[in-house]
Structure formats: structure tokens, C-alpha cells
């Protein structure tokens, strides 16, 4: 939630052509029908020491709050106790989470977390283990680490922990482990439709749907969450009934209630531009009258990329994503792709620009005549040289013969300029 995510999937380059399409979006059900909403906060929600006004958070429709307590074996959030106590006093259900560092001892981290939980005994939500980085450990090693942490935390606190994770981290780095379904699941998936549970879980308890929400009383962006149940079920969950969940998120699609039908191309373009950070909210009305085709090549590329990523697909296939794009737009597109991969996505792109492939991709496949001539990690394919040299080696190429271009400077067999003249 608060630390930089490691790249979980790869960006792979191939020399193929792929089409990218954006389909129309149907009118979706808004999040106003009753699933309890909540936030999770950390130290960076206090810029310059600014306090959170938890009364305003509650008035803004939030029902619960998770507060980061600890990270690793010794780090403590200096705002943890005040946030938990103030949120509880404002009438929110409260809980704490620990950001896991699997490279160091699990029991030490559990003890650090338990010590902070004891300082705020009024919290009613289960303590959560935030596991989203592997730090070089295999799936089996991560399973063992989680078992050690959760067992020790339960021994120290007497409470059953909850697992927080990203959808693709659990499916990838954790090999979709089935071992922890006896604990509640808090799943992060930044998409418009509620995700299905992963691993051995039948239901998720909480869904973290966004990392850039706006809530009254909090001066920064904040993570937005939904509880998978009614208000009554949330109360039961807070009392320790972790089984009675489900029913609120199935079929739920998050939207602003806008009709993004197939004849709304300009509006769609404007919204996508807004989502990509290319225009500001005050510009939305003006941009809504401008078709996507009327934007510059770089802007069009960014809008199309925003549209492709908006629904959080597992894989994105791009054909020459930086073709006819200015350097500033090219830099932004690469940053967008890296951020998408950091969230668990996979990018497959085709390109003839080897410098782009070397700087952006983890793996590469060289294809010519419909045949894969070489494939693997970029370093393995380039074999100590440049990727351009590797491509020429595998795909074939002829040496330049200057004499074959004699016609460019001769007319009728007579040299137009004497030797040495320009």
C-alpha cells in the first residue's frame, strides 16, 4: 500500500503486429447502493504533520478505517495511535495493518506489530498482514514466512489476522496459494468491477478498489475500500464473525453513472484524457467536444493507452507504442507502462526500435518470416553486444556497398563533381 511495488510481471518485445481496440462501456451500477465504504491510511496522509479530520471522514460516508501501524521489524507509524483513536471516536470501525518485509524475520515483525496493536485496544477489525513484495523469496518460502508471522501474531494478540494482497501478486508470486483461506481476505484490484477471490478463498471480505480517492478530512489521495456485505454484516464481522460476508460486491461495477455509449467518442476521449492526467477537471467540458482523432499523435497514443488500461487487464498488447510520439509523450507512456507492470500487469509490444526494447523490456523475441529466431531475457539475447547487432545477426542483413549507389552522384557515366568536392 505505501511502499514501492516491485515489478511483478514483465514487459516483452516482439516483432509482430497487433491491433488495439477500445470498446464502448455500458452504464454501470454506482457505489451508492449500500456496500460500506472505508479508507486505509499511513504516515504520508499527514503531509507536514497535518492531522486527519476523522469527523469529516465519517460525515463523507466512510464506515471503517485501517491504519498502517508498522513495517518490517522496527518501523512504527508515528501517527498510528492518534489515527486509530480519533477514527474510533468519530464512529468508524478501525483496524491496523503491517507492511511485510519477507527478507527479515517473521516473528520479529509480528512482535513489532503486536506491540502497536496493544497501544490502541479499541480497534474492532482484524489486524491485517500486507503482503505484496517477495524480496527474492519463492512462493514456498513466502508461504512459510506468512505462516510464521500469522501464527506468532495470533499467539501474541489472540486475534485471527487478515491477509491483504494484490490480486496478481497472489496469483503470481504466491502461486495462487490455497493455504490461508481460514483467514479473511482483503484484496487490492484497481478495476471497475469487483474481483473474484483468489487462492482458496470463496469470498473476499474487503476490496481495495482505488489508490487515489478523495475523502473529506484527508488532504492527500487515499486508498478506497468496500466491505463485501451489509452494514449489519460489517457489525457482525467486527464482532469476530468472519464467515458471514458476501453478497454486496458480486455483480458490482463502479462508475460515475455516465452513459459511455458508442456514439459518445469525444466524451470518452475526454474522460480517458482525464484519467491519464493529460487534462484537468476544468478542461473536461471543453475536451468533451473534441474527437480523439483531432488530438496530436502523442496525445492520441496516451488516450488510447489510458483506455486500454482503464479496466485493469492482465495483458496489454501494443504495436509500436512510441511511433510518431514526441520525447515528452514517449517518456510518459513508458512511465505508464512501468506503473502498470508494477501493479501486476504484463505488456507485450512490437517494435523495430531496439533502443526502446533495451531500455524498457525484460524479455525479447526476435521474429522474422514467421519464425522465432531467438527469445529470452534481453541480456541473454544480446549476448554482450547491442540488441541491434543481435537482431541483424539473427534476422540477417547485408553489408552496405557504396559502389551500388554510384548513380546517386553520376549522370550518364560522368561524375558531376571532381573528387574531393562537396
Q: Express each pLDDT in 282-334 by its tens digit.
A: 444 455 555 656 666 666 776 677 667 666 678 888 888 777 666 766 777 77
Query: Model confidence over 1-13: pLDDT tens digits?
Result: 745 333 334 555 5
Q: Is residue 122 part of a domain?
A: yes
Q: Is residue 223 part of a domain?
A: yes
Query: How far is residue 369's CA from residue 105's CA, in Å, rounded to a whole number?
Result: 52
Phi, psi for residue 60 in degrees, rounded to 5: -80, 10
* CA distance to 319, 399, 400, 409, 411, per residue, from 422 (Å): 41, 25, 21, 11, 16
Host domain of residue 174? 30-238
SS3 62: strand
277: nearest Cα among 317, 325, 328: 328
Beta bridge partners of 164: 130, 186
CA Rg, the chain, in Å?
Answer: 27
Q: Is residue 181 part of a domain?
A: yes
User: Higher confidence at residue 408 or residue 2?
Assistant: 408
CATH number of the domain to which 184 belongs: 3.20.20.80
pLDDT at 139: 94
Residue 336 near residue 309, CB atoms below 8 Å: yes
Query: How far is residue 14's CA from residue 318's CA, in Å, rounded to a whole number?
Result: 10
Q: Is residue 350 part of a domain?
A: no
Query: How far is residue 163's CA from residue 128's CA, in Å, rounded to a whole number?
Result: 6
Query: How far is residue 120's CA from residue 85's CA, in Å, rounded to a whole number?
Result: 7
Q: Is residue 104 part of a domain?
A: yes
Residues 6 or more apart from 1 whose CB is under 8 A from it? 40, 42, 68, 97, 99, 130, 132, 164, 188, 208, 211, 223
Q: Is residue 379 part of a domain?
A: no
Query: How many domains does the chain contain in total?
Result: 1
Q: Is residue 225 part of a domain?
A: yes
Query: How far is residue 125's CA from residue 68's CA, in Å, rounded to a whole number?
Result: 13
164 CB burial (10 A radius; 0-12, 13-18, 19+):
buried
Q: Which residues are catalytic?
A: 40, 130, 132
Query: Model confidence over 79-94: pLDDT tens digits?
Result: 999 999 999 999 999 9
Q: Is residue 400 part of a domain?
A: no
Query: Model confidence over 258-284: pLDDT tens digits?
Result: 333 334 444 445 545 555 554 444 444
- Count CB atoms within 10 A of the CB of residue 162: 23
- Count CB atoms within 10 A of the CB of residue 200: 13
Amino acid at each position: 500500500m505505501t511502499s514501492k511495488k516491485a515489478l511483478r510481471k514483465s514487459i516483452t518485445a516482439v516483432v509482430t503486429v497487433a491491433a488495439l481496440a477500445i470498446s464502448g462501456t455500458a452504464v454501470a451500477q454506482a457505489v451508492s447502493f449500500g456496500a460500506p465504504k472505508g479508507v486505509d491510511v499511513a504516515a504520508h496522509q499527514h503531509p507536514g504533520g497535518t492531522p486527519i479530520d476523522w469527523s469529516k471522514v465519517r460525515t463523507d460516508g466512510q464506515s471503517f478505517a485501517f491504519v498502517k501501524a508498522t513495517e518490517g521489524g522496527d518501523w512504527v507509524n508515528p501517527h498510528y495511535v492518534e489515527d486509530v483513536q480519533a477514527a474510533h471516536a468519530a464512529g468508524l470501525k478501525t483496524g491496523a495493518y503491517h507492511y511485510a518485509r519477507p527478507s527479515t524475520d517473521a516473528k520479529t515483525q509480528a512482535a513489532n506489530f503486536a506491540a502497536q496493536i496493544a497501544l490502541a485496544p479499541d480497534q474492532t477489525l482484524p489486524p491485517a498482514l500486507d503482503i505484496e513484495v517477495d524480496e527474492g523469496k519463492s512462493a514456498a518460502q513466502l508461504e512459510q514466512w506468512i505462516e510464521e508471522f500469522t501464527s506468532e501474531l495470533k499467539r501474541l494478540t489472540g486475534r485471527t489476522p487478515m491477509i491483504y494482497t494484490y490480486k496478481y501478486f497472489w496469483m503470481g508470486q504466491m502461486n495462487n496459494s490455497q493455504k490461508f483461506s481460514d483467514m479473511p481476505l482483503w484484496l487490492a484490484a484497481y478495476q471497475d468491477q469487483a474481483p473474484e477471490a483468489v487462492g482458496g478463498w470463496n469470498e473476499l471480505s474487503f476490496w481495495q478498489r482505488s489508490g487515489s480517492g478523495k475523502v473529506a478530512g484527508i488532504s492527500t489521495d487515499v486508498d478506497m475500500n468496500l466491505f463485501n456485505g451489509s452494514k449489519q454484516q460489517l457489525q457482525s464481522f467486527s464482532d469476530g464473525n468472519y464467515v458471514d460476508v458476501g453478497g454486496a460486491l458480486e455483480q458490482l461495477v463502479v462508475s460515475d453513472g455516465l452513459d459511455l455509449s458508442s456514439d459518445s467518442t469525444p466524451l470518452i476521449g475526454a474522460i480517458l484524457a482525464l484519467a491519464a492526467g493529460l487534462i484537468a477537471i476544468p478542461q473536461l467540458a471543453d475536451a468533451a467536444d473534441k474527437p480523439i482523432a483531432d488530438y496530436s499523435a502523442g496525445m492520441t497514443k496516451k488516450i488510447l493507452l489510458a483506455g486500454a488500461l482503464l479496466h485493469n487487464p492482465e495483458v496489454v498488447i501494443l504495436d509500436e507504442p512510441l511511433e510518431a510520439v514526441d520525447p515528452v509523450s514517449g517518456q510518459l507512456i513508458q512511465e505508464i507502462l512501468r506503473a502498470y507492470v508494477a501493479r501486476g500487469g504484463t505488456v507485450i509490444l512490437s517494435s523495430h526500435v531496439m533502443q526502446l526494447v533495451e531500455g524498457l523490456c525484460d524479455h525479447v523475441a526476435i521474429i522474422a518470416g514467421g519464425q522465432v529466431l531467438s527469445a529470452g531475457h534481453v541480456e541473454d539475447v544480446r549476448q554482450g553486444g547491442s540488441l541491434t547487432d543481435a537482431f541483424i545477426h539473427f534476422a540477417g542483413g547485408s553489408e552496405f556497398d557504396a559502389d551500388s549507389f554510384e548513380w546517386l552522384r553520376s549522370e550518364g557515366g560522368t561524375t558531376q563533381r571532381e573528387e574531393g568536392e562537396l
